Chains A and B, each alone.
Chain A
Amino acid sequence: MTFFLQLVISGLVIGGVYALVALGFVLIYKASDVINFAQGEFLLIGAHLTLTFMLVYNLPLIPAVLGALLVAVLLGAAVERLILRPLIGEPIISMIMATIGLSSALRGLLQVFWGTETRTFPAVFSQEAVSFGGLVVSPVYLWSLGLAVLLLAIFTFFFKRSLVGIAMRATADDQQAALSMGISVKIIFAVTWALAAAISTVGGVLLGNINGVNISLAHFGLKVLPVVILGGLDSIPGAIVGGFIIGLLENLAGGYLDPLLGGGVKEVAPFVILVLILMIKPYGLFGKQIIERV
Chain B
Amino acid sequence: MPGPLKLRNPFAIECGVYKTSYEQDMAIHPTPLARLRLLAMLGAFTVFPLLADPYYVSVANLIAIASIGAIGLNILTGFTGQISIGHGAFLGVGAYAAGYLTSQLGWSFWLALPVAGAITALVGALFGLPSLRLKGLYLAMATLAAQVIIEFAMYHWTAVTGGSRGLLLSSPRLGGFQFDSEIRYYYLLLAFTVAAFVFAQNLTRTRIGRAFMAIRDRDLAAEVMGIELFRFKILAFALSSFYAGVTGALWGHYLTVVSPEHFTITTSIEYLAMIIIGGLGNVTGSVFGAAFMTLIPIVLRESAKALTGVLPNIETVVNALREFTFGATIILFLIFEPEGLAKIWKNMKDYFRLWPFTY
Chain A interface (Cβ within 8 Å of chain B)?
Answer: 35, 83, 86-87, 90, 92-94, 96-98, 100-112, 222, 225-226, 229, 233, 261-264, 267-268, 271-272, 274-275, 278-279, 282, 292, 294
Contacts and interface: CB of A to CB of B under 8 A. Distances in A.
B324 interface: yes
B297 interface: no
B338 A282 contact: no
A98 B144 contact: no
Nearest to A83: B331
A282 B133 contact: yes
A86 B152 CA distance: 37
A96 B152 contact: no
A102 B146 CA distance: 23
B100 to A, nearest CB: 19
A105 B328 contact: yes
25 contacts: A83-B335, A92-B137, A93-B276, A94-B334, A97-B330, A100-B272, A101-B326, A101-B327, A104-B330, A105-B323, A105-B328, A108-B320, A108-B322, A108-B327, A112-B321, A112-B324, A229-B141, A262-B156, A262-B158, A264-B152, A264-B156, A274-B142, A278-B130, A278-B134, A279-B130
Contacts of B155: 264
A92 B338 CA distance: 12
Interface in B118-173: 130, 133-134, 136-138, 140-142, 144-146, 148-149, 152, 155-156, 158
Given A100-B327, A108-B320, A233-B137, 16 more contacts: A90-B338, A97-B276, A97-B334, A101-B328, A101-B330, A101-B331, A104-B324, A108-B321, A112-B320, A225-B141, A229-B138, A264-B155, A267-B152, A268-B148, A268-B149, A278-B138
B330 A294 contact: no
B78 to A, nearest CB: 10
Contacts of A94: 276, 334, 338
B280 interface: yes
Contacts of A262: 156, 158
Contacts of B330: 97-98, 100-101, 104
B282 to A, nearest CB: 14
Nearest to B326: A104
A106 B331 CA distance: 12
Contacts of B324: 104-105, 107-109, 112
Contacts of B103: none
Contact of A271 (B83, B148, B323, B328): B148
A22 to B, nearest CB: 14
B284 interface: no
Nearest to A229: B141
B280 A267 contact: no
B53 to A, nearest CB: 30
Q: Which 4 A-B pairs have the closest CB atoms?
A: A108-B324, A105-B327, A101-B330, A104-B327
Contacts of B319: 111
Interface of B: 77, 83, 130, 133-134, 136-138, 140-142, 144-146, 148-149, 152, 155-156, 158, 220-221, 265, 269, 272-273, 276, 280, 317, 319-331, 334-335, 338
Contact of A97 (B133, B134, B272, B323): B272
B335 A87 contact: yes
B292 to A, nearest CB: 14
A282 B134 contact: yes
B141 A274 contact: yes
A106 B327 CA distance: 8
B35 to A, nearest CB: 34
A90 to B, nearest CB: 7
Contacts of A112: 317, 320-321, 324
B145 A271 contact: yes
Nearest to B132: A279
Contact of A98 (B220, B320, B334): B334
Contact of B141 (A105, A106, A109, A278): A278
A96 B137 contact: yes
B320 A111 contact: yes
B148 to A, nearest CB: 4
Given A107-B323, A112-B324, A279-B130, A101 B334 contact: yes
B155 to A, nearest CB: 6
B165 to A, nearest CB: 14
A92 B77 CA distance: 12
A275 B327 contact: no
Given A108-B320, A225-B141, A278-B138, A268 B152 contact: yes
A176 B114 CA distance: 54
Contacts of B83: 92-93, 96
Contacts of A86: 335
Contacts of B145: 226, 271-272, 274-275, 278
Contacts of A294: 220-221
A98 B334 CA distance: 7
B168 to A, nearest CB: 22
A171 B191 CA distance: 55
Contacts of B146: 275
A109 B322 CA distance: 10
Contacts of A271: 144-145, 148-149
Given A90-B338, A106-B327, A278-B134, A267 B148 contact: yes
Nearest to B269: A100
Contacts of B141: 225, 229, 274, 278
A148 to B, nearest CB: 24
Contacts of A282: 133-134, 138
Contacts of A100: 269, 272, 327, 330
A101 B335 CA distance: 12
A25 to B, nearest CB: 12
